[in-house]
């Protein structure tokens, strides 16, 4: 009985030694096969396209259902049909043609931008929007009071294209997915994420 216990103990110690050796070997192999981990880059940042800020020099006036509208067409060769079908395209406005009490100087927001302010005793609603078609971006303004004879050329606009099917990867309502919703990021967050000069 005594001999049997010693034999079992030796077998147990041998098994323990073998398992320890296997575990130690796995750690050594694992540490040898991996280099030091670098910072995780943002997916697709190298493919992000952004335009320079542009200022429409003159706007064309038209009337739709009795409401004045103004528009300006800017060539945008980066906006292709494929981009429109599979990418996130955001147009930003810096509406420095307003007085600062209506729109603060250098404030940037994505279009559409809706501004309501008092024009005498009446509220005027200005709606700035962008119509994207292949090769072109049309900046549009409608004034609910037909308040303008012309538009200031101090307003500035730019677009950012985030390719790679990001639009299709947006989380569904109620989802806990961590996929960024770039269209709802602030301008500053987007510029920081993709290293875009503001």
pLDDT in tens, 147-156: 788 889 999 9
Q: How confident is the model at residue 74 (pLDDT cuts 50, 70, 90)?
A: very high
DSSP string, 98-156: S-TTTS-TT--EESSEEEEEEETTEEEEEEEEEEEETEEEEEEEEETT---SS--TTEE
Cα 139 to the center of its chain, rounded Å: 20
- Alpha-carbon distance of 160 to 130, in angstroms, equals 13
- pLDDT number for residue 63: 80
- pLDDT number for residue 179: 55
Residue 186 placed within a domain: yes
- Find the mean pLDDT for residues 54-65: 88
pLDDT above 70 for 125: yes
Indicate the range of 35-49, 60-74, 142-156, 171-185 predicted with least confidence: 35-49
Residue 173 placed within a domain: no
What is the three-class DSSP state of 24?
A: helix
pLDDT above 90 for 166: no
pLDDT above 80 for 90: yes
Q: Which helix (H) or strand (E) holds 177?
A: none
Count how many residues are written for the chain: 198
Residue 144 placed within a domain: yes
- Residues facing residue 161 across a β-bridge: 49, 89
Q: Residues 187, 196: contact at Cβ < 8 Å?
A: no
Residue 35 placed within a domain: no
Q: Residues 24, 133: contact at Cβ < 8 Å?
A: no
Residue 30 placed within a domain: no
Q: How confident is the model at residue 53 (pLDDT cuts 50, 70, 90)?
A: very high
Give the torsion sign (CA, 62, 115, 195, 34): negative
Domain with 117 in it: 45-168+180-194
- Alpha-carbon distance of 49 to 79, in angstroms, equals 10
Domain total in the chain: 1
Residue 9 placed within a domain: no
Residue 18 placed within a domain: no
Residue 157 placed within a domain: yes
Q: What is the pTM of this model?
A: 0.68
Q: What share of the chain is helix, strand, coil (3-state, %, to 5)?
A: 30, 30, 40
Give ∠ CA 110-112-116 in degrees, rounded to 5: 110
Q: How confident is the model at residue 178 (pLDDT cuts 50, 70, 90)?
A: low
């Amino acid at each position: 009985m005594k001999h049997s216990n010693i034999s079992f103990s030796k077998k147990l110690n041998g098994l323990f030694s073998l398992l320890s050796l296997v575990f130690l070997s796995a750690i050594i192999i694992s540490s040898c096969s991996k280099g030091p981990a670098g910072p995780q880059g943002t997916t697709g940042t190298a493919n992000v396209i952004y335009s320079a800020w542009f200022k429409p020099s003159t706007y064309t006036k038209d009337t739709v259902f009795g409401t004045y509208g103004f528009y300006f067409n800017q060539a945008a060769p980066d906006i292709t049909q494929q981009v429109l079908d599979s990418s996130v395209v955001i147009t930003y406005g810096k509406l420095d043609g307003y007085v600062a009490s209506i729109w603060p100087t250098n404030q940037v927001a994505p279009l559409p931008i809706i501004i309501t302010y008092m024009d005498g005793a009446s509220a005027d609603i200005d709606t700035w929007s962008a119509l994207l078609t292949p090769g072109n971006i049309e900046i549009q303004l409608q004034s609910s009071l037909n308040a303008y004879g012309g538009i200031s050329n101090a307003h500035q606009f730019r677009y950012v294209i985030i390719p790679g099917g990001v639009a299709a990867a947006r989380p569904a309502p109620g989802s806990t997915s961590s996929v960024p919703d770039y269209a709802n990021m602030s301008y500053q967050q987007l510029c920081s994420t993709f290293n875009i000069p503001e």
